[in-house]
């Protein structure tokens, strides 16, 4: 993953692990949609470290 995507608004030190994961999920969605690999029925999910919560698009 490009560090440029992760550092668009906040510096690396200001981002929490959850913020970083949210940006990675969003970037993954853009990558898959941009290459025609994901449509309306697809999704990307990631488990938030240290808990039982998930990010799901």
**pLDDT attached to residue 7:** 53
Residue 43's domain spans which residues?
3-56
Q: Which of 29, 28, 33, 26 is nearest to 9 (CA)?
A: 26
pLDDT in tens, 7-45: 556 566 678 888 989 999 999 999 999 999 988 788 899
**pLDDT attached to residue 14:** 75
CA 44, distance to chain mean position in Å, is 8
pTM of the model: 0.69
**pLDDT attached to residue 3:** 60
Number of domains in the chain: 1
Query: Where do the DSSP E strands lie in the chain?
Result: 45-47, 54-56
**pLDDT attached to residue 8:** 59
């Amino acid at each position: 993953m490009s560090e440029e995507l992760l550092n668009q608004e906040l510096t690396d030190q200001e981002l929490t692990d959850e913020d970083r994961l949210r940006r990675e999920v969003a970037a993954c969605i853009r990558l898959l949609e941009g290459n025609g690999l994901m449509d309306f029925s697809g999704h990307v999910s990631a488990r938030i470290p240290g808990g039982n919560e998930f990010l799901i698009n």
